[in-house]
Structure 1
Amino acid sequence: KNPFIIPGIRNVKIESQLNANYSFDNFLEGDSNRLSRSAGLAVANKPGGTSFNPLLIFGGVGLGKTHLAHAIGVEIKDKFPEKTVLYISAEIFTQQYIESVKKNTRNDFIHFYQLIDVLIIDDVQFLSGKAGTQDVFFHIFNYLHQNGKQVILTSDKAPVDMQDIEQRLLSRFKWGLSAELHQPDYETRISILRNILYRDGVEMPDEILEYVAKHIKSNVRELEGAIISLIAQSSFNKREINIELAKQVVEKFVKNIKREISIDYIQKVVSDYFQLDTETLKSKTRKRHIVQARQLAMYFSKKFTKASLANIGSQIGDRDHATVLHAVKTVDNLVATDKQFKKFVEDINKKLSI
């Protein structure tokens, strides 16, 4: 069905598409998400009335971007029932736009989105390379922003790392607040596990919780999956939840998760390869062989981690994202033109891929 409506009809009921299970109550606060969660609450209390407009929540897979976006929407609907809230993925938004062009209803599409008070777009990086959708979203965004409506976006990248997105759109993404969700620390992981057990009315020894929290660090989704799998194994197979069972379950999960390589580890591998210490690698020195080692550390950090360019730069000698971008381009060029340098890259790549 065509979701677009005749302009001028204001009192139409628009289904918000929100998942009520994703609330602030079950989005546990920790150091890794405090800024995003607080900003989300501020927006929920005063949609369109804070300087966090748009609010862009970004971070790796399974860290809670979608959960937080829904939680903001659910809270707004609760506090301001008269407001029209809509949650939509960038992929469906794009499909709707393509459909509207085919059916010659582009104007209806724009009018429909102009009726929204709080627009939540998930995975906005999906718009990259789609010029038509970006253009229409630019106009919708401008209208909503100028009329004091709230825009909430989620992405797996910081605006500065998004590619094939028009500059004018990127600059608008930066108007409000970009808040990053990081991997949860140990204490937060324990809290998340306790919360799941409490929710499901299950008891489990502390040593089991600690074992799971110590070994699954990558993201919240994996953590939830492991503990739910443990509960299921125990109840279906009538097995007691002991450390042995926990080891089996965690092993399966850890095998399936690509090992997260840290920027520190990459710096260590590159420094060892060139027989430097990491302090020299991070230092301000401009000696050619050290600059090349530093550029390689940046190049591999971009390749093997989900960290933003700004984050990589700050961890490798407190440099900015432009330096990291330059480093990546330089390494690509040298690989194509310098046989010795290409061998460096292949050797280090092997060490990091083990």
Structure 2
Amino acid sequence: MTTKEMWKAVLGEIELQISKPNFLTWLKQSQLIEKDNEKGKVVVGLPNNFAKEWVKNRYHKLILGSLRNIDSAVKEVDYVVMSNKSQGSKVKSPKKSRKEMEKTSLESQDSLIETKVDSKTNLNPRYTLDTFVVGSSNELAYAAVQAVINNVGMKYNPLFIYGKVGLGKTHLIQATGNKLVKNSKNKASVLYVTSEKFINDVVWAIRNKRMEDVKKKYRDINVLIIDDIQFIGGKTATEQEFFHTFNALYEQNKQIILSSDRPPAAIPTLEERLRSRFEGGMVADISYPDYETRLAILKSKAQANNWSVDEKITEAIAAKVQKNIRELEGVLNKVVFYQDFKNEKIDIKKLEKIIGETSEVSSKNVTVKDIIRIVANFFEVKESDIERRSRKKEMVQPRQISMYLMRDVLKMSYPNIGEKLGKRDHTTVIHAVEKISRKVNEDSTLNQKIMLIKEQLYK
């Protein structure tokens, strides 16, 4: 039996044991490169490093078992990346691949260390003012931030930044926090939280009669940064505690920075006394970026990640995606994904298809059931476990991704998503969606998973 015949038999066995999308995605392009009968070792080639790591970590036992069913002398399986030019004709040697893998592993660990959220401040160090692209759409907010940095607590307090989803508010306010920490040589006590976190802390304190703990946490700091403050509107106990926290910080000239998807006057359920305080400082908006800013954002992201993207493609993305920076970066991510992961050439026609897939999918074509089914197939779990209140650890990410996709693709409300997935509280859904939204731009593995799931969804 030749290596080609052997691998065909192995794939035939594996295909019966995993979902079709996963088989087509991870194993269809694989090859059995080498078989050492003396050592009982085989070498499996994959098209890229991401596929290599995924197959090795997820399907190794299955592959080894299938190989041993055909040849009991097989004891070891090594995985390598095949060359892009001719998969199968040239491969990186196992020895070299191992060194490269170790190097990649170290680089990945360094990357994780660099982007790890600070446990004291909750700030992500990847958000810096140096990487924030300034243009006409955000120059007022950026100027206000600079004024705050130069005169903490004394000018523009509170600083209230608002704008639609995906325009860079979180980047700017976290970058401000990081700059303040750096300027103080880590002496300034800065705390960044989402409004959801603040709400949860208040609810926990009320239930456990530990309100003094919450007061200490939020008042014994120099700078308080709260993201998406609009969500506290209508929550009486939370609004009351925030009102007193706000006053305590303000009276001590401690800086307060808030973000929202709308100006204070447009938050209908917000108490008038809070609205008045929000409007008492500096209110700055971030609007849709112009073409030059969009192009600068794309070039900055490509440079930061060492991505090589054709200039014409970058310019076309900037011209066609106009209203959302996350969508802008999402299209760029997908272009690189098709280039590097699938080795596909990107032209304008292909780009238009990518933009169509990345922007909006009509709810007439995609349903909640579609999302649950495809996510379940991808992770090889039961659809019912995603829908119900299963407490299995392996269900956390599939369920959170399902929530994220329902929000991102179908534009469903948080309460509606919670109702569809085990009648969960809307705050649980908000947490899941915000977590995935945040991590998808930090974690390349998660980003690839969601892209692969969306690709199946669009089909």
Q: Same fold (TM over 0.5)?
A: yes
- Does residue 1:77 correspond to 2:190, yes or no? no
Amino acid at match of 1:228: N
Greater shift, 29-38 or 99-108, is seen at 99-108
Secondary structure in 1 aligned to 2:359? helix
Residue aligning to 2:168: 64
Residue aligning to 1:19: 124
Taking the aligned partners of 1:254 and 1:73, their CA distance within structure 2 comes to 31
* Aligned counterpart in structure 2 of residue 204 of structure 1, from 306, 309, 312: 309
The answer to whether the Cα contact below 8 Å between 1:45 and 1:76 also exists between their aligned partners in 2 is no
* Aligned counterpart in structure 2 of residue 41 of structure 1, from 141, 146, 161: 146
The answer to whether the Cα contact below 8 Å between 2:223 and 2:256 also exists between their aligned partners in 1 is yes
The answer to whether the Cα contact below 8 Å between 1:14 and 1:86 also exists between their aligned partners in 2 is no
Q: Decide whether aligned partners of structure 1 residues 199 and 82 sit closer, same or farther in structure 2, where only a CA change above 3 A counts.
A: same
Q: 1:169-188 maps to which residues of 2 (within 5 A)?
A: 169-188=274-293
Residue aligning to 2:257: 152
Residue aligning to 1:306: none
| TM-score normalised by the chain length of structure 2 | 0.52
The answer to whether the Cα contact below 8 Å between 1:61 and 1:156 also exists between their aligned partners in 2 is yes
Deviations 1:220-278 (A, max 9, x none): 000000001101111111123322322221121233499xxxxxxxxxxxxxxxxxxxx
Deviations 1:290-346 (A, max 9, x none): xxxxxxxxxxxxxxxxxxxxxxxxxxxxxxxxxxxxxxxxxxxxxxxxxxxxxxxxx
Q: 1:1-354 maps to which residues of 2 (within 5 A)?
A: 15-50=120-155, 52-80=156-184, 81-256=186-361
Q: Which has the higher contact order (CA 8 A, sep 6+)?
A: 1
Deviations 1:172-197 (A, max 9, x none): 00111111010101110111111111
Taking the aligned partners of 2:212 and 2:267, their CA distance within structure 1 comes to 28
The answer to whether the Cα contact below 8 Å between 1:17 and 1:86 also exists between their aligned partners in 2 is yes
Taking the aligned partners of 2:157 and 2:233, their CA distance within structure 1 comes to 21
User: Per-residue deviation at 1:210?
Assistant: 1.7
Amino acid at match of 1:94: I
Secondary structure in 1 aligned to 2:133? coil
The answer to whether the Cα contact below 8 Å between 2:309 and 2:336 also exists between their aligned partners in 1 is no
Secondary structure in 1 aligned to 2:280? coil
Structure 1 segments, 4+ long, off by >6 Å, are none
Amino acid at match of 2:163: G
Structure (1 or 2) with the larger CA radius of gyration: 2
Secondary structure in 2 aligned to 1:255? coil
The answer to whether the Cα contact below 8 Å between 1:159 and 1:173 also exists between their aligned partners in 2 is yes
Computed over aligned residues only, the root mean square deviation of the Cα atoms, in angstroms, reads 1.7
Q: Decide whether aligned partners of structure 1 residues 119 and 257 sit closer, same or farther in structure 2, where only a CA change above 3 A counts.
A: farther
Taking the aligned partners of 1:238 and 1:133, their CA distance within structure 2 comes to 51
Residue aligning to 1:289: none
The answer to whether the Cα contact below 8 Å between 2:165 and 2:324 also exists between their aligned partners in 1 is yes
The answer to whether the Cα contact below 8 Å between 1:58 and 1:180 also exists between their aligned partners in 2 is yes
Deviations 1:63-114 (A, max 9, x none): 0111111000000000012110000111111111111111112123213211
Taking the aligned partners of 2:266 and 2:287, their CA distance within structure 1 comes to 16
The answer to whether the Cα contact below 8 Å between 2:196 and 2:231 also exists between their aligned partners in 1 is yes
Secondary structure in 2 aligned to 1:153? strand
The answer to whether the Cα contact below 8 Å between 1:14 and 1:84 also exists between their aligned partners in 2 is no
Residue aligning to 1:285: none
Structure 2: state its 5+ residue gaps: 1-117, 364-459
Taking the aligned partners of 1:34 and 1:138, their CA distance within structure 2 comes to 29
- Give the aligned length: 245
User: Per-residue deviation at 1:213?
Assistant: 1.0
The answer to whether the Cα contact below 8 Å between 1:45 and 1:79 also exists between their aligned partners in 2 is no
Taking the aligned partners of 2:195 and 2:239, their CA distance within structure 1 comes to 10
Secondary structure in 2 aligned to 1:71? helix
User: Per-residue deviation at 1:116?
Assistant: 1.0
Tell me the percent identity.
Answer: 36
| TM-score normalised by the chain length of structure 1 | 0.67
Residue aligning to 2:450: none
Secondary structure in 2 aligned to 1:53? coil
Taking the aligned partners of 1:88 and 1:187, their CA distance within structure 2 comes to 32
The answer to whether the Cα contact below 8 Å between 1:117 and 1:149 also exists between their aligned partners in 2 is yes
Taking the aligned partners of 2:350 and 2:182, their CA distance within structure 1 comes to 42
